[in-house]
Amino acid sequence: MSMFSLRDITKSFSGNAILKGVSLEAGDGEFIAMVGPSGCGKSTLLRIVAGLDHADAGAIRINGAEVSHLPAADRNIAMVFQSYALYPHLTAGQNIAVPLAMRNLSGSQRLPLIGRFMPGQRRICADIQRQVQAMAASLKIDHLLDRKPGQMSGGQRQRVALARAMVRNPSVFLMDEPLSNLDANLRVHARGEIVDLHRRAGVPTLYVTHDQSEALSMADRVAVMIGGNLLQLASPQAIYDDPDHIEVARFVGQPRINLLASQRDADGTVSFGNLRLTSASDTIGDPRVTLGVRPEFVRLRAEGEGALATRIERLEFLGSEVIVFTKLSAIGETVLAKISPAEARGLAAGQPIGLDMDPSHVMLFAEDGRRLAAAPLKAVLREMVHG
């Protein structure tokens, strides 16, 4: 049983706030994927948790015990880096053995020439060999144990790095973009392997990636970090269907969500083009709001029909689906629709068409990015009128 928590972690570099109070909790055996744009502070956070860097403030707990003051070696946290950081002069087997040797052998037992004459050294070394063998077998790299990193492929090196991290039964597992050096096919394969390994080891894991499909497909929960703030931590489905913040909605989803600037009148009407949503309730303060709707909930209509008049700019064929880029005639805004190849038959660039949006899937965001309450909004949208 193992769990860890971060409470209000802050960090600045030369006066620039990089982490602005990050809190999260990972339950026993939970896999949390952290996504966010480049430079948002993901690696900084992992380094702090691992003890390779120090937070300005905040607490890190493993199984309830505060570890912020402990050096990296005493935290029992394993970390895999994007670069794998294998020792180039050691074989795969020796690389995997390093953390066990550091933990189980004393300083004099580790000395190259005289270590083997120290009492107990042989027995401990034999035991380490057994653990290395077992780990290598479980990751199917036993045939590589005598090779040095320079004699292995990227995928093989990545597995050796995973083996080295897992071999000492860490309490927490941290991974910083461990697949980014692999080609596309190998990445998808390696995703499955990591998820599998994680399930067997049952160790809470914080996995950093900037690849949202990796995060959504692998994790129990996804943490979206933007500009040093953890904006949302929720299941992949909730992150996608129910973003708390406009930045989460914007970052997650391929193709991107449609975001359309709009206004709310004094009587509660939210308008967009000739799309009007009437609101009885007065829950929205600032009149400026943004409508969000994912491309799969935008429906194409014949010219002159639907809530919005648009023109097709171009079509992007992706095999099983087609992305239609349309430009709204009134304000020149681009709206994306995701449709099936069958629906796309006969469509061509330049063609004028109408658009509708599925009202139960339209989201509303306030000027500061917060998601506005869904309940009144849904009620509002049901009364959608075509102007």
Residues that bind ligand ATP (CB under 6 A): 13, 18, 36, 38-44, 210
Beta bridge partners of 10: 20, 57
At closest approach, how far in Å is the CB of 218 from ligand ATP?
17
Residue found by looking up tokens 């129990």 in the block: 220
**Residue 258's binding partner, choosing from Mg ion, ligand ATP, none, with beta-carbon cut-off 5 to 8 A by kind?**
none
Minimum distance between the CB of residue 36 and ligand ATP, rounded to whole angstroms?
6
CB nearer to Mg ion: pick between 35 and 307 = 35
CB atoms within 10 A of CB 224: 27
CB of residue 239 to Mg ion, shortest distance in Å: 20
Binding partner of residue 205 among Mg ion, ligand ATP, none, CB cut-off 5 to 8 Å per kind: none
Nearest to ligand ATP of 48, 355 (CB atom): 48
Give CA–CA dist 110/281, Å, rounded.
72
| Gap between the Cα atoms of 240 and 257, Å rounded | 10
Residues 27-46 that bind Mg ion (CB under 5 A): 43
Nearest to 277 by CA among 354, 373, 364: 364
Q: Which does 18 bind (CB under 5 to 8 A by kind): ligand ATP, Mg ion, none?
A: ligand ATP
CA distance 335 to 324: 8
CB of residue 302 to ligand ATP, shortest distance in Å: 44
Binding partner at 40 among ligand ATP, Mg ion, none, C-beta below 5 to 8 Å by kind: ligand ATP
CB 50 within 8 Å of CB 73: no
* H-type alpha helices, 277-362: 341-344
Distance CA 259, CA 333 (A): 9
Angle between helices 184-201 and 154-166 (to 10 degrees): 10
Q: Which does 210 bind (CB under 5 to 8 A by kind): ligand ATP, Mg ion, none?
A: ligand ATP
Minimal distance, residue 11 CB to ligand ATP, in Å: 8
Taking the least distance from each CB to ligand ATP, the nearer of 44 and 121 is 44
Decide whether 9 or 308 has the Cβ nearer to Mg ion. 9
Judged by beta carbon, residue 38 or residue 320, the one nearer ligand ATP is 38
Q: How far is the CB of 180 from ligand ATP (least distance, A)?
A: 9
| Least gap, CB of 37 to ligand ATP (angstroms) | 7
Q: Which does 61 bind (CB under 5 to 8 A by kind): ligand ATP, Mg ion, none?
A: none
Residues between 173 and 212 with contacts to Mg ion, criterion CB under 5 A: none
- Residue 387 is encoded by which pair of tokens? 């102007």
> Read out DSSP for 175-221?
EESTTTTS-HHHHHHHHHHHHHHHHHH---EEEE-S-HHHHHHH-SE
Whether the link from the prior residue into 243 is cis, omega within 30° of 0, is no
Which one, 37 or 268, has the nearer CB to ligand ATP? 37
Helices (H) and strands (E) in the chain, counts: 10, 21
Both tokens assigned to 242? 């129910």
Residue 38 site contact among ligand ATP, Mg ion, none (CB < 5 to 8 Å, cut-off depends on kind): ligand ATP
- Joined together, the tokens standing for residue 177 give 């973009």
Which of Mg ion, ligand ATP, none does residue 359 bind to, with CB < 5 to 8 Å depending on kind?
none
Closest approach of Cβ 35 to ligand ATP, in Å?
9
What Å distances lie between residue 289 and 101, 242, 360, 368, 369, CA to CA?
59, 17, 17, 9, 9
Q: Which of residues 266-285 bind Mg ion (CB under 5 A)?
A: none
Instruction: State which residue, 224 or 336, has the beta carbon closest to ligand ATP.
Output: 224
What is the rounded CA–CA span in Å between residue 139 and residue 246? 40
- Contact present, 63 and 40 (Cβ < 8 Å): no
Q: How far is the CB of 82 from ligand ATP (least distance, A)?
A: 8
Instruction: Give whichever of 35 and 270 is closer to ligand ATP, judged by the CB atom.
Output: 35
Q: Which is nearer to ligand ATP, 208 or 339 (CB)?
A: 208
Residues near Mg ion (CB under 5 A) are 43
